[in-house]
Amino acid sequence: MFHRTLALLVIFSGFMLSACSAQQNLGEETWYQVDSTNFRIVTNGDPQAVETLARDLERYRAVALKLLGAKGARQEQHRLTIYATADRQTYAGLVGPELAEMTNGLFDTTAQGSYALVNLDGRSGERQLEAREFLFHEYTHFLSYNRNTTHYPYWYSEGFAEFMSTMTFPVAGRYKLGAIPEERAMTLLYTSPMPLEELLRATVISTPDEEKPRVYASGWMLAHWLIMESGKVDQFRDYVRAYNNGADPVESLESTFGVKLEDVEKRYEQLFQEGEFDMVGGIVPKEFREVSPDVQQLSPQRAVAEVGHFLVLSGYNLAGLGSLLQYAHANGLMSPELIAVQADAETRMGNYEVAEELLASVPVAERNKFRYQNVDAWLGLTRQANTAGEERDRDELKKVRDKFVFLVNNDEETASHWYGLAMSMQMLGYPQEKYLEMLEQAYLRAPRQVHIAQWLAQELYNKRDADYFARVAQPLLMELDDQDEYQQMKLMLAEMRAEQEPGVRARVDNALAAKESESNEG
């Protein structure tokens, strides 16, 4: 009964006009869901091959948690969702053609949760199984970064993930690790290793896209040396601590490892010339139990909603949502869930009236679904946040607050629920200590979300809580790619430290004065 209304909205909605039916229509694919204890895989690939991937992922998780330490086990509250595409064409439909040319897999954390994406390469089922290297790589990022603020140097972050990606299970109950990743070996052979000092200083932002494969390959080789040969694993913790405190990555390597850079580079080059790398084997933890993944084909209606949700959540290829919705309308596949997905997209683009009409078209009986309630709460909050303070509707804000209270009470592990609650409480004029409690809960669940960390840092700065501010601001500096925001946060950090060390005050005052002078000249 809501198809006619939505059809009109599709025609007039701004982002729909940019949709191009020439792109592959993801709604035409047959999609499956493969469920295991710790993973949910959505795929249009060979479901039997993906079932095998799920089994290997569970084995990998058990071994990786043991190798990384027991702390990793409590990092996971929800099953990780993985989108596994059958081929590069489908992969490009989810991330856009440009990103599809540069990557075979992605991992991302959002305030709504983490997800991984992998291109299975779409040949035979046997070939698809090799995609587990990509999944192991991305899952290593999940274990390394989920719910913590530790930053690893770019070379190690990717190099260690490559090292772990080669894990195999040659016989029941055992694993092997340390093999040469075939793709990285080809990169090293065709381009040569990155000079060691350049590798140590490389960052995601400073490294051109065409050079990033060299960071992965060279980082793998250095990580292999570190783990298998150097005897410096314990010292590496000190190196990471120094790196997170802003130390020079070359100087700190020499000081924490007690080595000279030229000696490490000599061995680094020797490893490349010899091409021989040790492997290690071990036993899968005895407490691990093999799983039997559940495989089910998604209905076409459920499939388009699932794909649409990913397009909006990731934001990589939002234009693809237009053709997906057109396909859904033409084939009678619209659902309350897909309407909520579209309303979410419209809300993010500031089309509040359109989003409101969409949600109003959902039958009342379907409005108790969690995705609907989440979008409804964020629509109300975003609309009020973009209204001048004196013009905000307090009654509507109270309704928004209550919606987020419901979301938190029914899904306390999702950071965006706490964040929305904190925002609504602040706009309603709650005392700082009240909404700050909610903001802290959001930060604990998603400490790498810049917008959450920035707000918390500002509140702690205003509160003059120097120790807590430093714990939030220091790792935040490594997330900021806007130079003005970076410099401002750095000055705030210096100012707070100066209040604890009065002798530093004059230097901080001079820096603040210089910054103000620059702004006035601009």
Tens digit of each residue's pLDDT (9 = 90 or more) over 290-311: 999 999 999 999 999 999 999 9
- Rounded distance, CA 35 to CA 57, Å? 12
More confident of the two residues 210 and 518: 210
Q: Write the single-letter amino acid at 439.
A: L
Model pLDDT, residue 9: 38
pLDDT of the residue at 521: 55
Q: What is the pLDDT of residues 172-220, one digit of tens each?
A: 999 999 999 888 888 888 999 999 999 999 988 889 989 999 999 999 9
Question: Are residues 146 and 415 in contact, defined by beta-carbon separation less than 8 angstroms?
Answer: no
87 alpha-carbon distance from chain centroid:
22
* Pairing outcome for strands 294-297 and 32-35: antiparallel
Ranges 15-19, 40-44, 120-124, 125-129, most confident = 40-44
516 pLDDT above the threshold of 60? no
What share of the chain has pLDDT > 90, as a percent?
67
pLDDT of residue 101: 84
Cα–Cα distance for residue pair 22/323, rounded to 1 Å: 9
Amino acid 502: pLDDT: 60
**pLDDT category of residue 73 using cuts at 50, 70 and 90:** very low
Q: List Cβ neighbours of 153 (8 Å cut-off, separation of 6 or more).
A: 200, 202, 240, 243, 249
Position 24 scores a pLDDT of: 60
Asked if pLDDT for residue 70 goes beyond 60, the answer is: no
How far, in whole angstroms, is CA 247 from its chain's centroid?
A: 25
Measure Cα distances from 148 to 43, 101, 229, 446 in Å.
29, 30, 28, 8
Identify the pLDDT of residue 507: 54
**How confident is the model over 478-493, as a mean pLDDT?**
90
CA 408, CA 394: separation in Å to the nearest integer?
21
CA dist 103 and 6 (Å) reads 35
pLDDT above 90: residue 449:
yes
H-type helices in 202-296, by residue range? 212-225, 233-244, 249-257, 261-274
pLDDT tens for each residue of 367-389 = 998 899 999 999 999 999 999 88
Strand-pairing partners, residue 174, are 283
Distance CA 107, CA 312 (A): 16
pLDDT reported for residue 135: 86
Mean of pLDDT values over 16-24 = 43
Q: What is the mean pLDDT of the chain?
A: 87
At residue 510 the predicted structure's pLDDT band, cuts being 50, 70 and 90, is low
Residue 506 has pLDDT above 70, yes or no: no
Q: Is 331 helix (H, G, I), strand (E, B) or coil?
A: coil
Cα(425)–Cα(397) distance, rounded to whole angstroms? 8
Which residues are CB-contacts of 303 (< 8 A; sequence separation ≥ 6)? 27, 29, 30, 31
3-state SS, one letter per residue, for 470-503: HHHHHHHHCCCCCHHHHHHHHHHHHHHHHHHCHH
Q: Alpha-carbon distance 135 to 85, whole Å?
A: 12
pLDDT of residue 513: 57
pLDDT band at 485 (very low <50, low <70, confident <90, very high): very high
Task: Quote the CA–CA distance of 163 and 230 in Å, as a whole number.
Answer: 15
The pLDDT of residue 123 is above 50: no
- Model confidence at 3: pLDDT above 50: no
DSSP conformation class of 1: -
Across 31-35, 211-215, 477-481, which has the greatest mean pLDDT? 31-35
Question: Quick one: pLDDT at residue 410?
Answer: 94
Query: Is a pLDDT exceeding 50 seen at residue 403?
Result: yes
Lowest mean pLDDT across 137-141, 331-335, 361-365: 137-141
- Predicted confidence (pLDDT) at residue 74 exceeds the cutoff of 80: no
This prediction's pTM: 0.83
Q: Report the distance separating Cα 54 and Cα 292, nearest Å.
A: 9
What does the pLDDT read at residue 339?
Answer: 97
Residue 278 has pLDDT above 70, yes or no: yes
pLDDT at 72: 41
What is the pLDDT, as a whole number, of residue 17? 36
